[in-house]
A and B are shown apart, each in its own frame.
Chain A
């Protein structure tokens, strides 16, 4: 795959501007790189943690450890604090990486992308499709968003651009029927992966959750083990509500993993930590832009280092 190393790309995405994070921890731009901590810098640090959307629990946990270390050793530096914070975050995210080879080997391995409106499902579907194709796998895409205006046209445009196999129907068609047909097509063409792009729905809408369940039921007429992956696509710029999103989708559909998008912005996507804390769902990929290659496997180390300006 022709792309920059994940770490540099990831870092680039996370660093593009808003250096507040790195300022707080010193490494990049350093308000107190190498400088000793004091109350002022501890405050900055706390702000940076909240600013990353880590949420009250994780921010408190990290602060507590840094404060404790600072109590013991007043000559603690910004860099040391970053190391402590990184260790806590690494601990919290322990197990958040998916197995390297997550495809089941069943043909087709069905991946269902779900999430709220505008989170990036369609774009991610296209990126994933391209990624698997690039990996030498046969891919079919099912356009199960039959609801949003011009959703079909959007995925069609992607499929044409990336030369992907697409099964779609008309606006207003039964999304479960599209899933069924897409599976049949993938099967008959002997594809390894079937990616289903679904319509955006808020997790608070019971009837739309039922529609998702129907997709599952219908798929299972073809293959009782499908879908093999049900990934929630979460917009990384969303705050704590993404935890609620994940919880509800998990309850009603049974998630197997997450994809966090739009981390090329200034958001640190810290809500993923909150989601992981609560649901222990592995994070498969992160979205770092609008182009086909802007999708990277999630790596705890890279994430943590990018956040705290460590490593490289």
Chain B
């Protein structure tokens, strides 16, 4: 019975004592799941395999938190490694003026829009941007850049009579410099990474304009070919960054991992919409969760890991069993619960607590209760029976609550203690349930 009491109240805490280690066997199912998740998120086959292998090797032998399964724990580890890998390298652009940026990528990736977005963003950081139209192939590509430039009041260099891209680049650069521009962005045509002639074109353009940054603009929904695309462009022009686009869609975005793993080029920015300001620096943590798609498990393990003082939890459980649980203990327990986040969330994690609904009002009560206990002296907390009228006034005033609230707290705490005593070694789930119900009325105590 007391077992179930602690179940409801502290098992999330108590159960987190480390037992067992991650092993090949107990990770197997989860790893398979992770691999499938990565593959269905379009992570390249080889990248997914290698990644899972690496993490498995590193994780084997690690301690398992008891409240989570080895599978859940490995998913969390994978998530962390994913975040780390995706986030490697700096998102910052080179800190110099003038800064020259060359944009490259496949057809329809979003290079032109991204050029304008980047210019606009950097203008806010004190740069004077200019755009150079180097897409001489797609019909009206020059018009598109010009329109965006006009809209955002960014000067655009165009040469509609020439197909000589390196020359356009050089002249655009001179033109921009002459105008005192210190951020010069070169928008190039979409090209297949296997189109030798067109790839040579950007190699020559690069030579001509000596860019400080070469950004690969890539659709976040790219499939398995993302690795070839990134690798080829990287080999040809040595990328300095990747920009992921169309993240306002619902692609899982495994291509990001593929490209990063293959080239080790940092992912610097992400496009999140068609509007010019829908553009942000890259957030590896969000991307990792998106790719893995197991955010629930990850946050469960995270919460368990971050917040639990396992020995303390065990001590409290013991005290509850012996029914010498005082307000000091109560406070300590409450704080652990608070660290865990929302009560509703915790209750869901507790094995025995399904069906217990906990709303926001309980969270408020938790705060109030904590305030009242904090206003007591340690001696009072350990010996609640000494809290008389004048102490009550002082405590209530100190916590900004009514004496009535404090009376309520003390009364219910007293009942709870009584019940703990009465249930020592006693029987039946019924009584347990009654207690849970009563606790529900107690400020800060989870219950119906």
Residues on A facing B (Cβ under 8 Å): 16-18, 46-47, 50-53, 55-56, 116-120, 148-158, 161, 171, 202-205, 235, 237-242, 244-245, 262, 264-267, 270-271, 290
Q: Please, which residues of chain B bring their CB within 8 A of the CB of A157?
A: 139-140
Q: How would residues 202 to 221 of chain B score, 1 for a CB under 8 Å from any chain A CB and 0 otherwise?
A: 00000000000000000101
| Docked-complex contact A240 and B107, CB < 8 angstroms | no
Question: In the complex the two chains form, what is the Cα distance from A116 to B249 in whole Å?
Answer: 9
Question: In the complex the two chains form, what is the Cα distance from A242 to B222 in whole Å?
Answer: 9
B interface residues, how many (CB within 8 angstroms): 46
Min CB distance, A55 to chain B, in Å?
7
Q: Please, which residues of chain A bring their CB within 8 A of the CB of B40?
A: 55-56, 240
In chain B, what residue has the closest Cβ to A115?
B108
Q: Please, which residues of chain A bring their CB within 8 A of the CB of B44?
A: 51
Could you say which of A50, A51, A158, A240 contacts B139, with CB atoms under 8 Å apart? A158
Q: Please, which residues of chain B bring their CB within 8 A of the CB of A55?
A: 40
Question: In the complex the two chains form, what is the Cα distance from A63 to B352 in whole Å?
Answer: 43
The answer to whether B106 has its CB under 8 Å from any CB of chain A is: yes
Could you say which of B46, B140, B249 contacts A47, with CB atoms under 8 Å apart? B46
| Docked-complex contact B108 and A156, CB < 8 angstroms | no
| Docked-complex contact A117 and B246, CB < 8 angstroms | yes
Q: A56-B40, A241-B249 are in contact. Are A18 and B194 (CB under 8 A)?
A: yes
User: What are 9 A-B contacts defined by CB distance under 8 Å?
Assistant: A118-B108, A148-B144, A153-B144, A202-B248, A237-B223, A241-B249, A244-B251, A265-B192, A270-B224
Residues on B facing A (Cβ under 8 Å): 36, 39-42, 44-46, 106-110, 112, 137-141, 143-144, 146-148, 151, 192-194, 219, 221-226, 228-229, 246, 248-252, 254-255, 274
Q: A51-B45, A240-B40, A267-B225 are in contact. Are A117 and B254 (CB under 8 A)?
A: no
- 15 extra interface residue pairs, beta carbon distance < 8 Å, beyond A203-B249, A239-B226: A50-B224, A51-B224, A53-B42, A53-B225, A149-B143, A203-B250, A204-B248, A205-B248, A237-B222, A238-B222, A244-B251, A266-B193, A267-B224, A270-B224, A271-B223
Could you say which of B141, B192, B223 contacts A240, with CB atoms under 8 Å apart? B223
Q: Please, which residues of chain B bring their CB within 8 A of the CB of A203?
A: 249-250
Question: In the complex the two chains form, what is the Cα distance from A17 to B229 in whole Å?
Answer: 12
- Which of A16, A47, A155, A241 counts the most B-chain CB atoms under 10 A from its CB? A241
| Docked-complex contact B223 and A120, CB < 8 angstroms | no
Question: In the complex the two chains form, what is the Cα distance from A264 to B107 in whole Å?
Answer: 12
| Docked-complex contact A238 and B219, CB < 8 angstroms | yes
Q: A50-B224, A56-B36, A239-B221 are in contact. Are A116 and B192 (CB under 8 A)?
A: no
Q: Please, which residues of chain A bring their CB within 8 A of the CB of B46?
A: 47
| Docked-complex contact B108 and A235, CB < 8 angstroms | yes
| Docked-complex contact A239 and B224, CB < 8 angstroms | yes
Min CB distance, B41 to chain A, in Å?
8
Q: Please, which residues of chain B bring their CB within 8 A of the CB of A46?
A: 45
Q: Please, which residues of chain B bring their CB within 8 A of the CB of A156?
A: 140
| Docked-complex contact A154 and B140, CB < 8 angstroms | yes
Q: A154-B138, A156-B140, A157-B139 are in contact. Are A237 and B225 (CB under 8 A)?
A: yes
Q: A154-B144, A240-B223, A266-B194 are in contact. Are A202 and B228 (CB under 8 A)?
A: no
| Docked-complex contact A265 and B225, CB < 8 angstroms | yes
| Docked-complex contact A270 and B223, CB < 8 angstroms | yes
In chain A, what residue has the closest Cβ to B247?
A202
| Docked-complex contact B42 and A266, CB < 8 angstroms | no
Question: In the complex the two chains form, what is the Cα distance from A149 to B254 in whole Å?
Answer: 29
Could you say which of B42, B192, B225 contacts A241, with CB atoms under 8 Å apart? B42
| Docked-complex contact B110 and A241, CB < 8 angstroms | no
| Docked-complex contact B224 and A52, CB < 8 angstroms | yes
Question: In the complex the two chains form, what is the Cα distance from A241 to B220 in whole Å?
Answer: 10
| Docked-complex contact A117 and B193, CB < 8 angstroms | no
- Which of B106, B112, B223 counts the most A-chain CB atoms under 10 A from its CB? B223
| Docked-complex contact A120 and B107, CB < 8 angstroms | yes
| Docked-complex contact B42 and A154, CB < 8 angstroms | no
- Which of A52, A244, A267 counts the most B-chain CB atoms under 10 A from its CB? A267
Q: Please, which residues of chain A bring their CB within 8 A of the CB of B42?
A: 53, 239-241
